[in-house]
Amino acid sequence: MLKINKYSLIKNAAVLGVASLSLSLIATSSSFSDGHIYGENNPVTVKGYKGSKTNSTAYTGQMARQLQHNSLKKIVSKGNPSDPTSNTLNKMLNYFENKDKTKSMAILDPKSSSKFPVKQKMVGEISTGSNLAGKADGRVQLSWPNNMTGADVIRFMIKKASKISGGVDMRNGMNYPQLISKYTMGAVLYHQACDNYLDEKMTASNKPNDKPYKKGAYYTGKEHSWDEAFGYWGAAAHTMTLSAQQSYDVAKKKDLKAADFNKDGVVDLYKEMTYGHAYYASAFDRGGKTDYLKTVTKAFIDGRKIITNADGEKLSSSDLTKIQDLAQVICSNWAQVIAEAVHKYAGSVYKDLGAVEKAISSGSGMDKAMSKYLKHWGELKGFAMALQSGVENKSDTFNRLNRMMGFGPLMPNLSQVVGIDSSGNYLKDQGSSIGYYKLHMIKIQKLMVKEYALKAKSNDVTGGMASLIEKLGPKKSAEND
């Protein structure tokens, strides 16, 4: 007779239970991450490749530029021209123009901390061959005086910023950390992705999929072009597993758990960090009215799958159409994110001008009001310039946008920058009234909503009116009195 040991039975059952639970958890987590992580399961498809690489995904140059951009903003806001040994201008230009061939360009943001330890300390640990200046928009910028190219504008701003402590010119109203940062996001990151990699490089003849991107490369022309555009977007590779709030907190260095996808205890700045445009998309999506972050990131993942599935062959015309459609989804949503930012900061400027008016009438609190106003105006102008760095030629919209905000903010004495002389000095003239300038901010918001079908509409000035009317109750009923 078989003797059953009840303890052994319980033990076996427990082991079996734990094992099956673990298996199901593994299965769940793998099925969850499968296809959700950018760059995962992308084998090398280049025909005749003999190297050791097994994954064709690469966007190191772009992430290096994200870090150069972050660091540039940091150093511009910390500039101290009064210290002759600080060599402020060269330090700033270093992050804009130079490549970190010697792995000596320190990452200034994000810096490692106990709450948010990061894997890399130098830009060169990610890429040694990237700079910002070489990729800046080469077209003449109508949003800035004197017909400068994108790179010229940033260089001009850097030179101006190097002469002012903290990077804010209170006389002319220029907040350079904001202007430089936001415009660089457009002139380099958005411009390269949408006016280059997802535009001409997604045509049949340019960077074909049956050839390596360059001689000896382990990725094809189309694979790498697509990856590079993704890098400029600035989303963490595992973004699809995060909520908008988590993605936002990762960029703010507040959520190590969400950032550290591979659970090695540190944040890999190459693929676990949120930067630039993806950060702004997360910020708007937190409100729940939009889904820019995941729409764009998913389109990148889907597009990469189509390219990978071509297995190193030329893309068929239907695949090419699908890819171009996805590129369209990416760039239109991307433009919306920038337009949302323009809308948001136009609303901030409107409110700040109210505070400036109060400070004028009360005779106190002007410094605080101006500091806030100039910061938000810098963000507004920077994003408005960024919006004009894409592939879309909305000249009428852009002209109106530039005309309404001007080259500089309207100052309390109603002066405004109208140009730059041959020596690089700002030229100023009498601007409109503060009331009129505020009206321009409302019109900018309306222009953005109309042209880009915005939904988040942060800081909507007239939106308050709509919610007030909502409070009054629905009035469209047939009722006598």
Partner 1 sequence: MDIEVLNFIPDNFINPQKRIFLGYLLSGFFIAFLWLYCFRKYTLINSLKLIFDKKVYFSKSSFVDYSLYVFNSLIMIIFSPILLSQLVIATFIFEFMYAQNIIEPISINYLSIFLPIIFTICFFIVDDFSKFLVHMLMHKIKFLWCFHKIHHSAEVLTPMTVFRTHPIEGIIFVLRNAISQGAVIGIFFFISSGELSLVTVLGANFFSFMFHLLGSNLRHSHISISYGKLVEKILISPAQHQIHHSVEKKHHDKNFGVTFAIWDYFFNTLVYSQSNQKIKYGLSDEENFSRNNIFKIYLFPIIECFTLILNSIFKSFKCIYGYLLNLKPHKLNKNNKVLQNENS
Binders in 449-468 for partner 1, by CB under 8 A: 461-462, 464-466, 468
Tokens of 254: 């507040």
Query: What is the C-alpha separation between 66 and 231, in angstroms, rounded?
Result: 8
List binders of partner 1 among 416-435 (CB under 8 A). Answer: 433-435
Positive or negative: CA dihedral 181, 184, 185, 186: positive
Tokens at 335, concatenated = 């433009």
Instruction: Using the rule CB under 8 A, give the single segment among 69-77, 331-339, 357-365, 407-415 that binds partner 1.
Output: 357-365
Rounded Cα–Cα distance for residues 181 and 370 (Å): 20
Count of residues of this chain found to bind partner 1 when the rule CB under 8 A is applied: 33
Stretch that binds partner 1, among 106-114, 280-288, 318-326, 438-446 (CB under 8 A): 438-446
What is the DSSP-derived secondary structure letter of residue 420? E
| Interatomic CA distance for residues 94 and 101, integer angstroms | 12
Note whether 474 binds partner 1 by CB under 8 A. Answer: yes
Smaller CB separation from partner 1, 266 or 404: 404
- Of the pair 288, 474, the CB lying nearest partner 1 is at 474
Q: Does 403 bind partner 1 (CB under 8 A)?
A: no
Of residues 395 and 462, the one with the C-beta less far from partner 1: 462
Residues whose CB falls within 8 Å of the CB of residue 22, separated by 6 or more in sequence, listed in order? none
Residue with smaller CB distance to partner 1, 13 or 465 = 465
CA-closest candidate to residue 448, choices 378, 356, 386, 391: 386
- When binding is defined by CB under 8 A, the residue of 265, 288, 363, 473 that contacts partner 1 is 473
Minimum distance, C-beta of residue 356 to partner 1, in the bound complex (Å): 10
- Least Å distance between CB 446 and partner 1? 9
- Shorter beta-carbon distance to partner 1: residue 360 or 391: 360
Residues in the chain: 481
Interface with partner 1, residue 442, by CB under 8 A: yes
Between 138 and 435, name the residue whose CB sits nearer to partner 1: 435
| Residues 324-353 within binding reach of partner 1 (CB under 8 A) | 350-351
Q: Does 475 bind partner 1 (CB under 8 A)?
A: yes
CB atoms within 10 A of CB 119: 18
Q: Which position among 228, 357, 388, 444 is part of the footprint of partner 1 (CB under 8 A)?
A: 357
Q: Report in angstroms the alpha-carbon separations of 417 from 154, 309, 409, 424, 437.
A: 17, 53, 7, 12, 14
DSSP string, 295-355: HHHHHHHHHHHHHHHTTTSPPPHHHHHHHHHHHHHHHHHHHHHHHHHHHHHHHHHHHHHHH
Q: Where along the sequence are the contacts to partner 1 (CB under 8 A)?
A: 350-351, 354, 357-358, 360-361, 433-436, 438-439, 442-443, 461-462, 464-466, 468-469, 471-481
